[in-house]
Amino acid sequence: MPTRHSKIDIPVDGQHIDGTLVAASNTVPGVLLVHGWDGSQEQYLARAHEIAALGCVCLTFDLRGHARHAAQRRSVSRNDNLRDLLAAYDVLVGHPTVDPESIAIVGSSYGGYLAAIATTVRKVRWLALRAPALYRDSQWEVPKGSLSRSDLATYRQSVVPSDENRALKACAAFRGDALIVESEHDKTVPHPVIESYLGSLKRVKSVTYRVLADADHALSTESARQAYGMLLVSWMTEMTLGARAATGLLRPLPHSPR
């Protein structure tokens, strides 16, 4: 396997010593996994391990307002959380083995909404959205937890044109491969929202749309979680195999999803 090397500086005891870092020259896809509102990175850890086994570098993280930063829940805005996502993206792309041209973002619900918007300011090759939420463009800087739930419920009952929403505009401009996953019994993100996203993905290289039978928004049953995991890993397998074949790096994968 070809290798590459680079000179590095190593700080030690207030001094610096020289080193040479040698690594395989083949880079691999990077996958950023974004949880939804009321969630945490724990929800994506199992999926991250499965996708990493395909030969990818995966990164999960906690949006501010959650987990260790739960105290900020009443003050964090969508803009704050988008900045969280972009900061995590930059860390992932900065990993020495990650190919910056082969980045996937996987987002659920609120995380899917943020992921769609992120494609307008960062390079994204693959975009996987599970039950992506939709919000009005107004009140962008208002704390996310203060947004009217009744207004959101009303807004999500109708198909929204892509030129009237920031996330949908992003999807309309996206040129990579996309996966849209809907839960059959989703009361939080009803079907018109899914229609809005699908209707916006007109310039993509490919779009895959699947419905998880008998699943609710939170994937509260083990069968629903397993079904989503298998679907996501299968799609990522297809995408990464295609990427390897296109670059002449096709080789047996270390793991085959069951």
pTM of the model: 0.84
Which pLDDT score, from 0 to 100, does residue 257 have? 38
Query: What's residue 256's pLDDT?
Result: 36
State the pLDDT at residue 200: 98
**pLDDT given at position 250:** 43
Q: Are 195 and 162 in contact (CB under 8 A)?
A: no
Distance CA 124, CA 116 (A): 10
Instruction: Residue 106: name the closest of 179, 46, 37 by CA.
Output: 179
pLDDT confidence of residue 6: 65
- The first and second tokens of residue 21, run together, are 């870092």
pLDDT score of 165: 98
Q: Quick one: pLDDT at residue 70?
A: 64
pLDDT of residue 12: 65
pLDDT tens, the chain, 258 aa long: 455 566 768 686 687 757 666 555 578 899 999 987 676 667 778 888 899 888 898 988 888 876 676 667 788 899 999 999 999 999 999 888 899 999 999 999 999 999 999 999 999 999 999 999 999 999 999 999 899 999 999 999 999 999 999 999 999 999 999 999 999 999 999 999 999 999 999 999 999 999 999 999 999 999 999 999 999 999 999 998 877 666 554 444 344 333
